[in-house]
Structure formats: C-alpha cells, structure tokens
Amino acid sequence: MLWTAAIMVCMTGQEPSYKTCEVMNAEWKYRSEAECMVAVANKLNSLMNIPEIDRTYEPVNYKCVSWIEESV
C-alpha cells in the first residue's frame, strides 16, 4: 500500500477559505493507514506546541489517502 497524509489548518476565528487555510503533509508516504494516522497525530501535536502556530491556526481536517492497493 501507499498512503499519504494531509492536514488542513485554518486561521483561528476566520471562515475557512482559500485565503485563510493551508494544507500540509505529515510526511510523504506510509505503508499502512495506521502508520499514516500516527504520523498525523504526531504532526498535529508538534504543530500545536509551537505558540506562534497555535495562536494563529487551528486544525480543521485531516485524512490519510490510499493511492495504491496492496497486491494479493
């Protein structure tokens, strides 16, 4: 399998839009959805521990996307 992680953060107190939100990744690829979700959680925790980011942005959405199905 090939999974990627995406995290959307938006400016705190603003309506989500192209101008007020950013999409970032945790890393580029993972072998499982569970590995991907752990990375997302770790990335969110590290971002929210940076005061400048925590005051400016809030997590709005995150997901792990499967790109390649596992061969049988």
pLDDT in tens, 20-69: 999 988 778 899 999 999 999 999 998 888 988 888 999 999 999 999 87
pLDDT in tens, 1-27: 899 999 999 999 999 999 999 998 877
Q: Where are the alpha helices (DSSP H) in 1-72?
A: 33-48, 51-56
pLDDT greater than 70 at residue 72: no
CB 68 within 8 A of CB 2: yes
